[in-house]
Amino acid sequence: MNRIVPSDRVAARNARCEACPLRCMPAFRKLSHAEIDFVRAFKVAEITAGAGTTPLAEGSETDYLYTVLSGWGFRYKSLPDGRRQILNFVMPGDLLGLQSSLTSEMHHSVEALTKMTLCVFPRDRLWALFRDHPGLALDVTWLAARQERMLDENLLAIGQGSAHERIAYLLLHLYRRAEGAGLAGEGEMELPFTQQHVADALGLSLVHTNKTLRRLASENIARWSSGRLRINGLERLVAIAKNDPVPVAPRPLL
């Protein structure tokens, strides 16, 4: 179903992290000179993963951590019979591969939804990061805690919500996160995936996901077509989702 294809590797050691277009955004915390220098040396490559490829695969060993510079993807786990659960969507600024910091065996996969650009950091230098840059180490922990919080909210929505509530929650969640990454505004954003992805993220069948989305459209709350989401009733969406996860800024970026 999801073929694992090796990612294109681009030698790009000439990283000018201080001029990183992502880091320059106001949403991210400013690093000190010493920290920027460390990050630049920490980064060993910049790779591109094409849409549909699997840069990180469950069960495999990875010696690297990645920061998403651009593009969309998703983290997921599969069952032997093919069912899969999308754990969350991946956007610029996210740190990947931390989950298994000691052992390097991955316990989930990551698939690219669009072409993704990733900064590559060798895992074996994470120790030096913790030893020499406690501020960056706290950033790593902050990112892990943020991830955990998102999973908590996810679990609440999936465990307790009806289909209507789950879909509202997911759309709002994605909109707020995209906002934080400069990818949304004016109630509009790109959704570079299919209804099947929404179904797999929320534990719903494709058919029921479709019917629930149609209902949101007929209620004139949110319309999704041709890969673009338009939210007309943000307040009503929040009321249905019972949760408005506005992101905190400034947030760390490795």
Partner DNA sequence: CGGTTGCTTGAATATATTCAAAGTTAGTGG
Partner DNA sequence: CCACTAACTTTGAATATATTCAAGCAACCG
Told to check if 211 binds DNA by CB under 7 A, we report yes
Q: Which does 160 bind (CB under 5 to 8 A by kind): DNA, a second copy, none?
A: a second copy
DSSP label of 105: B
- 214 contact, one of DNA, a second copy, none, CB 5-8 Å limit per kind: DNA
Q: Taking CB under 8 A as the rule, does residue 145 contact a second copy?
A: yes
List all residues 6 or more positions away from 34 whose beta carbon is below 8 Å from its beta carbon.
133
Instruction: Tell me: cis bond preceding 250? Omega within 30 of 0 counts.
Output: yes
Q: Is 78 in the site for DNA (CB under 7 A)?
A: no
Under the criterion CB under 8 A, does residue 101 sit at the interface with a second copy? yes
CB 89 within 8 A of CB 150: no
Query: Is residue 87 a contact point for a second copy (CB under 8 A)?
Result: yes
226 binds DNA per the rule CB under 7 A: yes
CA atoms within 13 A on the CB side of 54: 17
Question: If DSSP codes are grouped into helix, strand and coil, which group holds residue 248?
Answer: coil
Structure tokens at 216: 């949101």
In the chain, DSSP finds a helix count (H) and a strand count (E) of 7, 12
Q: Where are the alpha helices (DSSP H) in 71-205?
A: 126-132, 134-160, 163-180, 195-202
Site string for DNA, 162-201 (x = CB under 7 A): xxx-----------------------------xxx-----
Q: Output 43 or 84, the one with its CB closest to a second copy.
A: 84
- Binding region for a second copy (CB under 8 A): 75, 77, 79-80, 83-85, 87, 98-103, 107-108, 126-127, 130-131, 134-135, 137-138, 140-142, 144-145, 147-149, 151-156, 158-160, 201-203, 242, 248
- Binding region for DNA (CB under 7 A): 162-164, 194-196, 203-211, 213-214, 225-226
